[in-house]
């Protein structure tokens, strides 16, 4: 199994019963949803099949209703650089607030090495704040736009970037069209939502077909 660099786990049963070890894995994909009975299953069993300290990319493709389970998992992956969430979620705002007040969240936000986050679903404004607070070292941020209230979404996104993400140099907004980019540019320039800097913003779709690209200088 020395040639395997990516592992995709589709069921809890497979992870529990797997008798093989993958020593050179750097990417992990989780497809199954976590149950209440398996609250600590991932963190307790991953080391049995791969070296979690070696993981640099983690992709979550399954439904989760409790982000605390993900926080506990991130504690076990200290050298993670790329974090993708490619599934819809159902996080209650009260739960997000409670999690941010936990010692586990504070520790992860201060010590994680995540530099690139990819959010492949339409998250809420509170989820944006939560994720930005979780990963303050982000250099690249890819996120799907919200169809509910685009202007509020963009304002929230940019203000949180301005306040928290001092290292960010690339923002990629998926599924946005050229007309909507004008709204973004107007918000940036009229409301000064970003600090004076040069930030590259790309407008892309998740299938890697560019819709519109551009670089905006904020002076």
Rg over alpha carbons for the chain, rounded to the nearest Å, is 18
* pLDDT at residue 181, as a whole number: 81
| DSSP H/E element including 165 | none
Task: Write the pLDDT tens digit of every residue in 88-123.
Answer: 666 666 688 899 999 999 999 999 999 999 998 888
* pLDDT at residue 144, as a whole number: 85
| DSSP H/E element including 213 | strand 210-218
Contact (CB, 8 A) for 177 and 146: no
* pLDDT at residue 211, as a whole number: 34
Q: What are phi and psi of 29, to 5 degrees?
A: -120, 125
* pLDDT at residue 186, as a whole number: 83
* pLDDT at residue 151, as a whole number: 83
* pLDDT at residue 173, as a whole number: 84
Which regions of the chain are under pLDDT 70?
A: 1, 33-44, 63-65, 88-94, 191, 193-199, 203-219
**Domain locations in the chain as residue ranges:** 1-114, 145-219
> What is the distance between the alpha carbons of residues 80 and 58, in angstroms, rounded to a whole number?
7
> What is the distance between the alpha carbons of residues 165 and 140, in angstroms, rounded to a whole number?
10
Is residue 122 helix, strand or coil? coil
């Amino acid at each position: 199994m020395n040639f395997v660099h990516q592992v995709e786990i589709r069921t809890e049963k497979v992870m529990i019963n797997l008798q093989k070890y993958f020593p050179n894995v750097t990417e992990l994909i989780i497809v199954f949803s976590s149950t209440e009975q398996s609250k600590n299953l991932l963190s307790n069993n991953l080391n049995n099949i791969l070296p979690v300290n070696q993981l640099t990319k983690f992709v979550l493709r399954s439904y989760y209703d409790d982000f605390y389970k993900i926080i506990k998992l991130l504690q076990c992956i200290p050298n993670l650089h790329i974090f993708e969430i490619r599934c819809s979620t159902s996080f209650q705002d009260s739960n997000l607030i409670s999690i941010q007040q936990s010692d586990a969240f504070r520790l992860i936000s201060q010590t994680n090495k995540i530099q690139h986050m990819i959010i492949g679903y339409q998250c809420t404004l509170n989820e944006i704040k939560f994720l930005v607070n979780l990963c303050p070292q982000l250099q690249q941020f890819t996120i799907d736009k919200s169809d509910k209230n685009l202007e509020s979404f963009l304002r929230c996104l940019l203000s949180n970037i301005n306040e928290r993400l001092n290292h960010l140099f690339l923002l990629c907004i998926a599924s946005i069209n050229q007309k909507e980019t004008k709204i973004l540019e107007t918000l940036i320039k009229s409301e000064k939502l970003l600090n004076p800097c040069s930030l590259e913003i790309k407008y892309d779709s998740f299938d890697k077909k560019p819709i519109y690209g551009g670089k905006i200088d904020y002076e």
